[in-house]
A and B are shown apart, each in its own frame.
Chain A
Amino acid sequence: MASLTQAIRMALHYAEDNMQLRDVFGQDVGAPLGGVFTATQGLKTAWNTPLDERGIIGMATGIAMTGDRCVAEIQFADYIFNTIDLLKIAGNTHWVSNGNYTLPMVVMTPVGAGIRGSVYHSHSFDAWATRLAGWKVVMPSNALDAYGLMLSAIEDPNPVLYLKPKALMRVRGEDLIPGEPEDAKELKNMIDAPVVERERAKWKPKWPKLERYMVPIGQAKTTRAGRDITVVTYGRHVLMCNKVADDLAAEGKSVEVIDMRSLYPYDWQTIKASIQRTRRAVFVNEDTEVTNFGEHLAYRVTQELFYEIDAPPRVLAGKNLPGIGLHPNLEEHSVPQTSDIAICVREVLNEVP
């Protein structure tokens, strides 16, 4: 089974062969490294840029103005902040030009904590991203979705921000990508570059015969069916919420987990239908809690489902801190852990109307 990194790489390869993807670029994205997580290794369209995030976003915008497809990478979301006005312009270009220009560009960037990345390799960007009207925002939680969301992002005529949960980059999926060999070792031998630099120079990937597989943007996925409470999440917290659901099932508590996959546009109909059944909701993510995207969803629950719920909707998010400290005691106390989610879910389940 492919890791999330391999899935992204295979999607980009499929797109350069079949979807007119012409440019994959960013700092260290091209040879020899192929990306700091190796997600762009072996791609014929991948190239290295200067260490200039504003240039990377400007380049992507200009390419998209010609109608060509491109995927740009900001090495870590922590370094995307100096491009925010350019992201805003990319998001408003179609609107402000009265529909004259569309920008079919993808920007991908790793987000979140979980790999001991310290202050500048642990930022989240989801709340910021969802304020960029005109952009679509997606975040996969597994390899198959990573593949399907990337193809959808490349095909979409709008700018799409593809957030990579960096803690999951090495996590293997449970479902095969269409065309992927069943044996993980075989896949590794085919598409992972040798670690030894001398060997890497001569290396060429042997791509499996991949197939088109799309995850529509705006479509969530229910990863655990349940009756008593709905937990809505995305990215690496899908795995944690699934574990909580499995653990609580042993106690007879039935927890539904929804993986949003798309933050914007979001699948309100799936979320709404679930909460109407369970009558309780928790929104989990790791961005800081003040003006958190989960707050918007909780607000919408309050506005539209107030008389159908048995407990106030809760948002479990990262603490409102200026950064993520490196020591595990600091990191784990800053962003929601499995135990925090379990406590929160129990509390909401115990609410008496």
Chain B
Amino acid sequence: MALANVTLKSNKTTGSKMTKAKSSSKKSLALPKELLLQMHSLMVKSRVLEERLIKIYKAGEAYFWIGAPGEEAFGVPLGLLVDKGQGPAHDYLHLHYRGTPTLVAMGMPMIDSIRLIMNRATDTSTGGRNFSNHYCYPQWNVVPVSSPIEVQYGMAIGTAHVQRRTKGRGLSVVTGGDAGTAEGDFATCLIWASRPGAELPLLITVQNNKWGISTSYDTQHGETHVADRGKAFNIRTRVINGNDPIETYLALEEEMAYIRKNRKPVLLEAEVSRLYGHSSATGANLIPEKDCLLNFEKLLLQQGLLKEQQAKKIWSDFEEEARKAQETVRTEPPPTSESVWDHVYANGENADWRKF
């Protein structure tokens, strides 16, 4: 595990006017203690949950794992900052398959994620149909996560268009990886978000972990930053250290406030780690990259904001919660075979052509 880099980098910015996040130091951590401790707790919860999902997969109790360990410093602040609710007055979330930290921060119970990976009938997101991290929460405007890694960029313009028309403060957020930005839908997102006179209240984010499964970013991308592509469309852009939860929180807070007020898009690139590889397809084993959570925890300990015993208890309490949740889910029924016909069409109409 990489614990070396405790000093949190100051943010790099590109494009138009930026306010730099205050750099973390012993004297000031720029955010209130309660918020720092809340972020830490949620990051631990998300990490413990993801590691439980990996254990479930490795124990043969799930077919596949994909998730977000290493992205907690980006996902948790995002989840805390979204305006959670249903309908265009609230924020829409077009997440990719590394959304656990965001959902945990929004209040998703651990057991939901375990039901999803174990494909139980009780999985409300997909009814046992889809992979881990493919969440769907209509009550929070979390639209269905799908496996194609680019399509969410093209759909986010639709919810943002309605929010533009409704003239509230709601915005749409889209997340995705760096590899997916090579797809045309990323260009679609930039073009449609910046149509003159019809700019969209859209936070376009890229979590750049420098990998597309096994292909490195550096071998496929000539641009210095993905965010630089926004400049061509006069979109406000920003690159942040997504391994620093304080910098991320401050940057997201500022950019979301800008979007809510100005009803214009922002392209924000967060540099993040990928701690367990792409998915179970690449082994789901710990890889020695920068660990945002352990670094943050070390900082809080150094600052005296958190005590060692306290930290241990946070980890063990969540581990116990995850273990118990798994035990509960084991007792829950799988989807019935007949449920394949559920929800083919609204209200169960025309599900099976043999019965027309």
Contact B127 A61 (CB under 8 A): no
- Which segment of A98-106, A198-206, A279-287, A309-317 sits at the interface? A98-106
Is B262 an interface residue, CB under 8 A from the partner? no
Residues in chain B near residue A44, CB distance under 8 A:
none
How many whole Å from B158's CB to the nearest CB in chain A? 2
Contact A98 to B136, CB < 8 A, known contacts A59-B192, A66-B162, A265-B350: yes
Q: Judging by beta carbons under 8 Å apart, are A134 and B345 in contact?
A: yes
Given contacts A66-B87, A101-B138, A265-B356, contact A55 B157 (CB under 8 A): yes
Chain B residues closer than 8 Å to A266, beta-carbon distance: 353, 356
Does any Cβ of A come within 8 Å of B178's Cβ? no
A295 to chain B, nearest CB (A): 14
Let me know if A63 is at the binding interface, CB within 8 A. Answer: yes
- Whether A347 is near chain B, meaning CB under 8 Å from some CB there, is no
- Check: B201 CB closer than 8 A to any chain A CB: no
Pairwise interchain contact B88-A62, C-beta atoms closer than 8 A: no
Could you tell me if B129 and A98 are in contact, using CB atoms closer than 8 angstroms?
A: yes
- Whether the pair B192, A52 counts as a contact (CB closer than 8 A) is yes
Beta-carbon contact of A59 and B356 below 8 Å: no
**In the complex, which range does the number of interface residues on chain A fall in?**
35 or more
Q: Are B126 and A96 in contact (CB under 8 A)?
A: yes
Closest residue of chain A to B139, judged by CB? Answer: A100
Say if the beta carbon of B118 comes within 8 Å of chain A: no
Whether a CB of chain A sits under 8 angstroms from the CB of B288 is no
- Which of A86-94, A112-120, A169-177, A320-328 binds B? A86-94
**B188 contacts the other chain (Cβ, under 8 Å)?**
yes
Question: For the complex, would chain A's binding face be called helix, strand, loop or mixed by DSSP majority?
Answer: mixed
CB-nearest residue of chain A to B347: A157
B154–chain A nearest beta-carbon distance, Å: 3
Q: Given B136, B188, B350, which contacts A58 in the complex, CB threshold below 8 Å? A: B188
- Judging by beta carbons under 8 Å apart, are B162 and A68 in contact? yes
* Cross-chain contact of A218 among B185, B188, B350 (Cβ < 8 A): B350
Complex contacts, B125 vs chain A, CB 8 Å? 97-98, 100
Within 8 A of A (CB), among B49-94: 87-88, 92
- Considering residues B146, B161, B191, which has the most beta carbons from chain A within 10 angstroms of its beta carbon? B161
A52/B344 contact (C-beta < 8 A), A58-B151, A65-B143 known: no
The size of the chain B interface, using a CB distance under 8 A, is 47
- Indicate whether B27 reaches chain A with its CB closer than 8 angstroms: no
CA distance A44 to B125 in the complex (A): 37
B156 interface contact, C-beta 8 A: yes
What sequence of 0s and 1s flags, for each residue 317-356 of chain B, a beta carbon within 8 Å of any chain A beta carbon? 0000000000000000000000000111111011001001
In the complex, A268 has a CB within 8 A of chain B = yes
**In contact, B124 and A96 (Cβ under 8 angstroms):** no
> Are B154 and A96 in touch, CB under 8 angstroms?
no
In whole angstroms, what is the CA distance A52 to B189 when docked? 11
Closest to A92 in B: B146
Across the interface, which residues of B come within 8 angstroms of A133, CB to CB?
A: 344
CB A331 to nearest CB in B, in angstroms, measures 32
A60 at the A/B interface (Cβ < 8 Å)?
A: yes
For the complex, is A240 an interface residue (Cβ under 8 Å from B)? no
Q: Tell me whether B159 is interfacial, beta carbon within 8 Å.
A: yes
Bound CA–CA A61/B162 (angstroms): 11
CA distance A269 to B350 in the complex (A): 13
Contacting residues of chain A (32-69) with chain B, CB-CB under 8 angstroms: 49-50, 52, 54-55, 57-68
Q: Nearest Cβ in chain A — how far from B207, in angstroms?
A: 20
Q: Quick check: A59 and B345 within 8 Å, CB to CB?
A: no
A60 vs B86: C-alpha distance in the bound complex, in angstroms? 19
Known: A50-B192, A62-B160, A93-B144. A99 touches B151 (CB 8 A): no
Contact A102 B356 (CB under 8 A): no
Identify A65's interface contact among B126, B155, B349, CB under 8 A: B155
> In this assembly, does B107 line the interface, its C-beta being within 8 Å of a C-beta of chain A?
no
B126-152: contact bitstring with A at CB < 8 Å (1 yes, 0 no)?
A: 110110001011100001101010010
A contact residues around B88 at 8 Å (CB): 66
A62 to B342, Cβ gap below 8 A?
Answer: no
User: A63 to chain B: which residues have CB within 8 Å?
Assistant: 158-159, 161-162
Q: With the chains together, A66 CA to B158 CA distance in Å?
A: 8
Instruction: Let me know if B184 is at the binding interface, CB within 8 A.
Output: yes
Residues of chain A in range 152-178 having any CB-CB distance to chain B below 8 Å: 157-158
| A186: interface (CB < 8 Å) | no
A306 within 8 A of B: no
Q: Counting chain B CB atoms within 10 Å of each CB, which of A62, A101, A133, A264 scores highest?
A: A62
B271 contacts chain A at the CB level, 8 A cutoff: no
Further 5 A-B residue pairs, CB within 8 A, beyond A50-B192, A101-B143, A264-B350: A55-B188, A58-B188, A62-B154, A218-B350, A267-B356
- B-to-A contact residues, CB < 8 Å: 87-88, 92, 123-127, 129-130, 134, 136-138, 143-144, 146, 148, 151, 153-162, 165, 172, 184-185, 188, 191-192, 195, 342-347, 349-350, 353, 356
Q: List 24 A-B contacts (CB under 8 A).
A: A49-B192, A50-B192, A54-B154, A55-B192, A58-B151, A62-B155, A62-B160, A62-B161, A65-B158, A66-B159, A68-B162, A85-B148, A89-B146, A94-B344, A95-B343, A98-B124, A98-B125, A98-B342, A100-B144, A102-B346, A218-B350, A265-B350, A265-B353, A266-B353
